[in-house]
Amino acid sequence: MMEDKTSGLDAISKEVVDLENVPLEEAFEQLRCTKEGLSTDEAQERLNIFGYNKLEEKQESKFLKFLGFMW
């Protein structure tokens, strides 16, 4: 059963499913959640699968940025 959940959520992580253009109820079905949200156990399981929701920071060269203004 865990394998089935993981494979379904894997499609979400690979953006195979376009959640922006489906009805709300279908989005909840695809995400396997409800309007009330996730249980603590389900949230922990998804953290284990997907990791934390954070943006990667890009290290930008201040020198190259300066040159960009001058160019």
Between 59 and 5, the higher pLDDT residue = 59
User: What is the per-residue pLDDT across 23-61, written as a single tens digit (0 to 9) for each?
Assistant: 888 888 878 888 898 899 999 988 988 888 887 788 888
Report the chain's C-alpha Rg in angstroms: 19
Pick the closest to residue 51 from 13, 17, 16 (CA basis): 13
Retrieve residue 21's tokens.
């253009």
pLDDT on residue 60: 84
pLDDT on residue 44: 93
Q: What is the Cα–Cα distance from 11 to 13, expressed in whole angstroms?
A: 6
